[in-house]
Amino acid sequence: MKKTIVSIVGFSMIFGAAGGVYAGANLQEIKAYLNNDISVKVNGKSVQLLDAQGNVVTPITYDGSTYLPARAIANSLNVAVDYDAAANSVLFGEKVEGTPVNAAQTFYQAIKDPNLTKYKNKDYGEVIKDTENSGSNFTLEPKGKYQKLYLQVAAIGSEVAIKIQDKNSVLLKQDTVKIEDGLKTIEVNVAGLNEVTVFYSYENNDKSGVFVPLTTSYYK
């Protein structure tokens, strides 16, 4: 596994949160300085620190230490970052609990008919199921909140080819699901991505298709 090296001066981090979050928080006023002389390198390459809106952010120096914005550093390292307002906590990387993909967005092409949402006698409640086309696609929206996608796919009748790309058509994962695989879980790194597209294709006959449960496919 490749080791990631971050070069900075006096490493600490701060997390930029939306206005209103700090009301009533346990804060202490300090005197600090925006330090434009600090640069950040990841694996020897200089990176520009940006906030969630793409604006440049500057490190802060206080009492001999340099504080860096957590979101900008996480994005530079390709690590998912989120803010849990209820717990007043910053979350890095994979979550402890998985979030079903259908809890994160609405799938207008999803099937909820109990007669069509079963696979091997188990009802998955909401699925992407296609037995009419030789191939198509659907979009997932992690919105930069998660590190990994665990997509479950089953092949019906013949094997299914799967490709997962980001919005710039960069290939993130390619796999083949065979009938004997049953419900196969495909793991994809989606850190920092707002959306990904899942492309599937299979043999064009009336006995083939793809089955993707949206209740057990999840983000972490």
- The distance from CA 14 to its chain's CA centroid, rounded to whole angstroms, is 22
- pLDDT for the residue numbered 47: 83
**What does the alpha-carbon distance between residue 1 and residue 96 come to, in Å, rounded to a whole number?**
23
What average pLDDT is seen over the chain? 85
- For 50-66, b/e burial (b = at least 16 CB within 10 A) is eeeeeeebebbbeeeeb
H/E stretch holding 170 reads none
Q: Residue 56: what pLDDT?
A: 87
What does the pLDDT read at residue 13?
A: 53
DSSP structural state of residue 71:
H
pLDDT at 190: 95
**Residue showing tokens 């909401």:** 126
Residues of the chain with CATH 2.60.120: 99-219
pLDDT of the chain, 220 residues: tens digit per residue = 344 443 433 344 555 544 445 555 677 888 888 888 888 888 888 888 887 778 888 888 888 888 888 888 887 877 888 777 777 778 888 787 899 999 999 999 999 999 999 999 999 999 999 998 888 999 999 998 899 999 999 999 999 999 999 999 999 999 999 999 999 999 999 998 999 999 999 987 778 999 999 999 999 9
Question: Counting Cβ atoms within 10 Å, is residue 156 exposed (0-12), middle (13-18) or buried (19+)?
Answer: middle
Q: What is the pLDDT of residues 153-162, one digit of tens each?
A: 999 999 999 9
* E strand spans, 18-80: 33-34, 40-42, 45-47, 60-62, 65-69
pTM beyond 0.85: the answer is no
* Architecture of the domain made up of 99-219: Sandwich (2.60)
How do residues 105-150 score in pLDDT, each as one tens digit? 999 999 999 999 999 999 999 999 999 888 899 999 999 889 999 9
Strands 148-156 and 184-189: antiparallel
